[in-house]
Structure 1
Amino acid sequence: MLATPVSDRVLRPGWAGEPKWDGFRALVSVDAGQVVLRSRRGTEMGPAFPEAVAGAVQLPDATALDGELVVWDAAGRLAFEQLQNRLQRRGAGAARAADERPAHFVVFDLLRLSGTDATRWPYRRRRARARVRVRRPSTVRPVGAVPVDCPPRGRCARRPPMPTSCASG
């Protein structure tokens, strides 16, 4: 599901707001122990981001998540240009880049859980289950759930550091 940018942070009933990330929209799926990381247009991204693939191994089999790959710079800011530089790297070059500036897969939505299609579940249920599924040992860092920034109704409690996008559900 693609987000819709909004200028007013007052949300309609049934909508939730999330920060706007400066990364690549991606889908990660685990099937029969194999992790596939693809762009929203279907391009295979796993070889360029081995740390994200390694982090997704923890997910239950037959599970799929919608999210965004992001990289932070040394100052803790999102660094889209560093993410772009990673796209053509493979093998040892990708592993070096993962060590220097690891990518993180920020989870927006749970699409499938252990073979069950979750897309018909209410948004709140999918979000809650996605949060549980991406909890991980401290040694596995590249997968994490994005917090829902805004309450289901009314005005957001605080202004996020980035513009907000909203999704219905």
Structure 2
Amino acid sequence: MTWTLPEPMLSSPVPEPRLRPGWAAELKWDGFRALLSVDAGKVVLRSRRGTEMGPAFPEIVAGAAQLPDATALDGELVVWEEGRLAFERLQNRLQRRGAGATRAADEAPVHFVTFDLLRLSGTNTTRWPYQRRRAALESLFAARQLTAPWALCPSTTDAEAVREWLTWGAVGMEGVVYKRLDGAYEPGVRGWLKYKVRETTEAIVGAVTGPAASPRGLLLGRYDDQGRLQYVGRTTTLARATGNTIGSHLTPGEPGHPWTGWTFSAGWGTQRALEVHLVQPDVVMEVAIDVALDSAGRWRHPARAHRVRTDIGVDQVPLFGE
């Protein structure tokens, strides 16, 4: 009988990156969570939400020939391009099938960064403690001499290594995930911990969603070295009181606004455009951002608005790309 992949084990956020005694840390990758099984020659590649992704990533399906039969892995699909993780390359692959998926695999091959072992040669390993699962996973990579598309996620119990990992945001690493050394793999349970690197920085408000007097969200920009206002990202939904406070500083955009005629996507994987109102780009916001960027240098995750910076001008905001 074909073995069924379990639900993925999940993580809960923590506010600081302390490595606790009895825990290990792994890198948190900017990609797509995926579970893979090989059973009687059948390969299943499933997203966190249960969507079958095999047809979109034929290089992963083909690479499963390197694995022993009746084996299942948990990991992250990533694309490495020009010295950084390129999430948008993954996003563009989801709808590809057949020859289109094969061409995309040649142009921007995907790797499966493996961080957990769910089944090994017919043995269900989910009840094993993490330390044992990790040792078996490392042995699998060594014994099989696994090569691309397979990669082994680093794991450490060294706090100094964790501190170094937290400086790798420029290449797309989002932070770290913590796992108890004696913890089982519990499907659907938020038993792991995660710390995502965030920075506080400044950006210019160029447009808003919702009414300008009490915006629901802010579209943020920075000037490039040619003096052009470039879109860098948007905020999470604002609380009403916060929106009212920010709205009191905004004025409607005038003719010749640098974003006149622009459209802004409502999010990854959708063709829907945001309904926005342009405002004069003269208000500076302090925001907290994730370190993950897309290939254009924009913030991939929504920023969190902290406060209006009335003490600095737009010429003091970091340039786009800095």
11-20 vs 99-108, greater mean Cα deviation: 11-20
Does residue 166 of the first structure (1) align with residue 178 of the second (2)? Answer: yes
Residue 137 of structure 1, CA deviation: 5.3
Alignment of 1:138-157 (within 5 A): 140-148=147-155, 150-151=156-157, 155-157=159-161
Q: 1:34 to 1:134 in 2, by over 3 A?
A: farther
Q: Whole-Å Cα distance in 2 between the matches of residues 2 and 156 of structure 1?
A: 25
- Alignment RMSD, CA only? 1.7
Q: Whole-Å Cα distance in 1 between the matches of residues 63 and 139 of structure 2?
A: 15
SS at match of 2:99: helix
120-129 vs 22-31, greater mean Cα deviation: 120-129
Runs of 4+ in structure 1 over 4 Å off: 135-138
The superposition leaves residues 63-120 of structure 1 with CA deviations (integer Å, 9 ceiling, x where unpaired) of 11011101112x1210111100000001111111111100100101000111111011
**Identity rate, percent:** 68
Q: In 2, are the aligned partners of 1:6 and 1:165 still within 8 Å (CA)?
A: no
The unaligned stretches of length 5 or more in structure 2 are 1-8, 184-322
Structure exhibiting the larger radius of gyration computed from Cα positions: 2
Q: Which residue of structure 2 lines up, in the alignment, with residue 113 of structure 1?
A: 120
Q: Which residue of structure 1 lines up, in the alignment, with residue 110 of structure 2?
A: 103
Q: Whole-Å Cα distance in 1 between the matches of residues 14 and 86 of structure 2?
A: 23
Q: Which residue of structure 2 lines up, in the alignment, with residue 66 of structure 1?
A: 74
Q: 2:60 is matched with which residue: 52, 66, 86?
A: 52
Q: Letter of the aligned partner of 1:65 in structure 2?
A: L
Q: 1:46 to 1:134 in 2, by over 3 A?
A: farther
TM-score, length-scaled by structure 1 = 0.89
24-33 vs 2-11, greater mean Cα deviation: 2-11
Q: 1:2 to 1:156 in 2, by over 3 A?
A: farther
| Higher RCO structure (Cα 8 Å, ≥6 apart) | 1
Q: Which residue of structure 1 lines up, in the alignment, with residue 216 of structure 2?
A: none
Q: Letter of the aligned partner of 1:8 in structure 2?
A: E
Q: In 2, are the aligned partners of 1:6 and 1:164 still within 8 Å (CA)?
A: no
TM-score, length-scaled by structure 2 = 0.48
